[in-house]
Amino acid sequence: MSPKSALLRGAAVVTAAGALIGMAAAPAVAKPHHDEPTVIAHRGASGYLPEHTLEAYALAVELGADVIEPDLVLTKDGELLARHEPVLDETTDVAAHPEFAERKTTKLIDGKPVTGFFADDFTLAELKTLRAEERLPTLRPDSAAHDGEFELVTYDEVLDYVGTLGRKVITYPEMKHPSYYEDKGMSIEDALADLLEERKLDRRWSPVWVQSFEYESLLTIDERIDNPVGLNIDGQGEIPDATLDEYAETLDTISLNKNRIFPRAADGSISKPTDIVERAHERGLDVHVWTFRAENSFLPANLRSSTNPAEWGDIEAEFELFYDLGVDAVFSDFPDLAVAARD
């Protein structure tokens, strides 16, 4: 994309995102804030618009997010596509394209068979004919109303857009399923490192952080770039001191499932916090937390407003619990709510 076209596209997206704010769920526009804790827009403003679209990222920026998070997968021709997983079925209209019907197949991801349409079986030009769809249409009908409107975007295009902004916004790409690509003879680590090097964004203080659920993948890319790197850790339960010691020697951040910090009790309610934040900070590790969502379906039982899974509960109280513990950053589908609770 040329600098001129990037500027025009960026201006158009910002204008469109601003117009869509009123349609989404009347989120309050917030001024950017760069003190801790940092607010990371999880897949963009994905509570309001279909995830991983330029429009969702632009809305997140307008709502005051400090960081936008593009998950990355590889296309057939080696481009970095902003999607949450290699399979396209849940978040695009690929099934409505008869010209691609024969591309449906079954592959192994993390050792499990998955059937669907895979991004790595499509060239970027083919993927550009698809349109994004809301992953959770029952919970987020306002976002689903925009199904079919927004094209799929590459990380290159996201960086073009961020370059047009009048303030610093960090991108936090997550390399999805590196082992899957390694088994196919592809390297998502090299693809990302190549792009960051080309753009001179591979330096320590560049506005790019890198993350993955695969520790070895982070060690691999860390050999080529100087950006901060962070390991995503799912589930709940204690992380031993020896493990934290190793992470402190090799990583900058651990990014934790909320249940690692405030475990869920047997009845689904939030319980007393663990000491993981304190122990990580003692070792110089930042602690990021995911994922904060407003709907009752995702909240602890004692913070829900009703039995309606789509209704919003007391997410402000949940934010405050984590902020009070001193976490360094939060991932949220609703960046405006994270900003409002912090400020």
Q: What is the C-alpha separation between 63 and 29, in angstroms, rounded? A: 5
Placement of tokens 């689904």 in the chain = 268
Catalytic residue positions? 42, 84
Taking each helix axis from N to C terminus, what angle separates 54-62 and 3-24, rounded to the nearest 10 degrees?
70
The two structure tokens encoding residue 232: 């995503």
Cis upstream peptide for 291 (omega within 30°)? yes
Q: What is the DSSP letter of 164?
A: T
Placement of tokens 């409505």 in the chain = 96
Placement of tokens 């930042």 in the chain = 286
What residues contact 161, with CB distance under 8 A and at least 6 apart? 6, 9, 10, 13, 54, 57, 58
The two structure tokens encoding residue 242: 């020896």
Q: What is the C-alpha separation between 298 and 296, in angstroms, rounded? A: 5
Q: What is the helix (H) or strand (E) element at residue 130, kind and residue range? A: none
Placement of tokens 């610093």 in the chain = 168
H helices present in the chain, as ranges: 3-24, 54-62, 124-127, 141-144, 155-162, 178-183, 188-198, 215-222, 241-250, 276-282, 315-325, 335-342
CA distances in angstroms from 330 to 9, 174, 193, 286, 333, listed in the order given: 29, 15, 25, 11, 10
